[in-house]
Structure 1
Amino acid sequence: MLPEPTTAPLVEVVDERLRGVRLLLKRDDLVHPDIPGNKWRKLKHNLAPARAAGRVLTFGGAHSNHIRAVAAAGVEHGFETIGVIRGEEHLPLNDVLAFATACGMELTYLDRATYRRKGDPDVLATLDRRFGPYHLLPEGGSNELGVRGCREIIAELPDFDVVCCPCGTGATLAGLALGLGPRQSAVGFAVLRGGFLPEAVRGFTGGHGGWEVDERYHFGGYAKVPPELDEFAEEFTRRHAVPVERLYVAKMLYGVYARAAAGEFKPGTTVVAVITG
């Protein structure tokens, strides 16, 4: 069974570069070896409908940690999994897709133009005819049940002023925002460019405020890891003995440090950064 998320520790970072900001890391990357961080959170409440349907169909890129996590969850919880992968098939499979198929996931591929329309009725109808019935899980696990799981993070935190997370689809930020108390706020650091995240978060939160998307630290887009970001992550690991995942977590931590240096997080502010895996 998946471990309870309360097993994820909080780690305080002491670093003069934070200019008096107190930084706590929520180590959600440690909750499960194959289903870490926000992947666990988003899947938690999707497990019941997945088991009821007996099969899950979901979407992701060829290096998607979400695809990997869903495949692992299918093994642990006894439902079939189908991964709809963006782009063309490439053999041999990379490590993520090889792991997924080893877990029994069936892979199918959509060209990039069709993948961009993956939510359109005609595309879903084609998938239904081939694979249905199934529990449909959006890319990244970002549905109302996924947001509900992410909201539960707030109850596990000590008193704080700002909670931060990396942002890919917006569901984790939406969940955090919905759990905020008075005088608390949430910041999501976009890991890709495009400007669509605020609308996505609003779709989950409605008129609930207290959150923002910071789009200054995506470093050129998804999977872009220039030397400056890589060096920052390496130094962070040397100083604090915390491994830093590059595509998501490094961009968030870089943004937290940049905001502290610029005075956007005032000295004495308690910031919690959710390490999503």
Structure 2
Amino acid sequence: MNQEIQTTFQNDISLTIKREDLIHPFVSGNKFRKLKYNLLQAKAENKTTLLTFGGAFSNHIAAVAYAGKEQGFKTIGIIRGEEILDKIEDNPTLKFAQENGMQFEFVTREDYRHKSEASFIEKLKEKFGDFYLVPEGGTNELAVKGCEEILTEEDAVFDYVCCAVGTGGTISGLINSALSHQKVLGFPALKGDFLTDEIRIFAKKDNWNLISDYHFGGYGKINLELIEFINAFFEENKVPLDPIYTGKMVFGVIDLIHKNYFPAGSKILLIHTGGLQGIDGMNMKLKQKKLPILISNG
């Protein structure tokens, strides 16, 4: 569903947000897209278990747990950080995943860095038996195929398509399906320049740019300015934004409008990639820091 943002911007620029967060109540946004063809492939290979990786508040972990339960798979989550082993009840993301049947394996941050190595995967197979491996964040060729379905015929009217970037799968799908007159802009949620190479593995066109000025200090980092922006955006448009990905992207796009980055008359489509389950976890941290909390409903 596309929802026009009613705010009047300079130079006759219009903003519309694609509500991918509304696709599914628990497997929302790009996670639904990324898992769609991976789940079909797992069934085609007669796999009964999904194994994947993520951090303590991972949207991906929550989505795989629910999708696995819904589709009849056992699920295993390799979780970064042994220190949260005895804190599952205090963690809304992990508690949700566990309630939906996910089995956890907590590993040290050092070991987690080796998660893509064959020897690490082999040890997991020795421990858990046969499984279908879904990469951290869900990005692989099948995930990109799913994300290519985000844009539809009605989106042909837009000049710019903007999305947050984590592992690069979503933007790669958008790049591949964007029309010749459209420019895709990605807003990384992480520091670093490695994403360009990751995206080029899957992207088949050069119709895109990364804008790396709006990560707010890095992955999972947030400040008072971003909190106030997300809350004001919700009050004005009744659209909740997550603070890790989409909130930063929307902040960046609106800031660029004010800085005259976009030509007059531009029609901009914002992709809401979901991730709202992470708000509860972020609000726990904000309360500890005595900062205002994020509002995500009336």
Q: Does the alignment reach a TM-score above 0.5?
A: yes
Residues 227-242 of structure 1 mapped to structure 2, 5 A cutoff? 227-242=224-239
Which residue of 63, 69, 83 corresponds with 1:75? 69
* Identical amino acids, percent of aligned pairs: 43
Q: Tell me the number of residue pairs that the alignment of Structure 1 and Structure 2 aligns.
A: 268
Aligned equivalent of 2:180: 182
Aligned partners of 2:63, 2:105: CA distance in 1, in Å?
17
Aligned equivalent of 1:5: none
Aligned equivalent of 1:198: 196
Deviations 1:212-251 (CA, angstroms, capped at 9, x unpaired): 1111000001111100111111111111111121111110
5+ long unaligned stretches in structure 2? 275-298
Deviations 1:73-132 (CA, angstroms, capped at 9, x unpaired): 111100111101011133231111111111111100221111112101111111121123
Aligned partners of 2:153, 2:70: CA distance in 1, in Å?
25
Superposed CA RMSD in Å reads 1.3
Aligned equivalent of 2:287: none
Aligned equivalent of 1:6: none
- Cα gap change, 1:106 to 1:269, in 2 (>3 Å): same
- Are 1:171 and 2:191 an aligned pair? no
Letter in 1 for 2:71: H
Aligned equivalent of 1:37: 29
C-alpha displacement of 1:17: 4.2
Which residue of 206, 222, 225 corresponds with 1:225? 222
Letter in 1 for 2:260: G
- SS of the residue aligned with 1:189? strand
User: Is residue 85–residue 106 contact of structure 2 (8 Å, CA) maintained in 1?
Assistant: no
- SS of the residue aligned with 1:146? helix
C-alpha displacement of 1:156: 5.2
- Cα gap change, 1:233 to 1:57, in 2 (>3 Å): same
- SS of the residue aligned with 2:152? helix
Aligned partners of 2:133, 2:123: CA distance in 1, in Å?
13
User: Is residue 164–residue 186 contact of structure 1 (8 Å, CA) maintained in 2?
Assistant: yes
- Cα gap change, 1:233 to 1:138, in 2 (>3 Å): same
Normalising by the residue count of structure 1, what TM-score does the alignment of the two structures yield? Answer: 0.93
Residues 107-126 of structure 1 mapped to structure 2, 5 A cutoff? 107-126=104-123
5+ long unaligned stretches in structure 1? 1-8
Aligned partners of 1:24, 1:205: CA distance in 2, in Å?
24
- Are 1:90 and 2:82 an aligned pair? no
